[in-house]
Amino acid sequence: MKCYESASGGRVLVIRLNRGDLLRESIEQALRDHDINDGCIVSGYGTLETCTLHMVNTLTEFPAKEDFVTWDHHPLELLSLTGVIADGIPHIHAVVSDKDGATGGHLEMGCSVAYLAEVVVYEHAGLPLTRTPTDEGPLALIPKS
């Protein structure tokens, strides 16, 4: 385990999205517009009409194989949105549900808002982060030198 700490706080950015806005694309645009390179998505909720999530389906190989689940013109509740932003790039996980159940995974591009969505971003001021390849698998989050 590794932990990284900053003595200073940062800004809070609240993003409101309307019908038809693209979720991930809008978050990335807001990060660029507000020059947020490092932080976390602490909260996200709303409704979606179109959504794609992917999740790993293997444990013993890398890169891991993935399953993609897509809903197209299907009413979904966006129950949770979380992630870490490093080098201006968000790594976002989401949980969505409909009347049949809930599904979680990595948020893909092209997810559109049905009625509204709200996202809260917290900037990690004084803690620049990046991701680097490892022998064990996925990119490791480390302080940027």
What's the whole-model pTM score? 0.91
Which CATH number describes the domain made up of 12-143?
Answer: 3.30.1330.80
pLDDT at 107: 98
Distance CA 129, CA 145 (A): 8
Contacts for 1 with CB less than 8 Å, ≥ 6 apart: none
Can you give the pLDDT at residue 135?
73
In which residue ranges of the chain is pLDDT below 50? none
pLDDT confidence of residue 139? 80
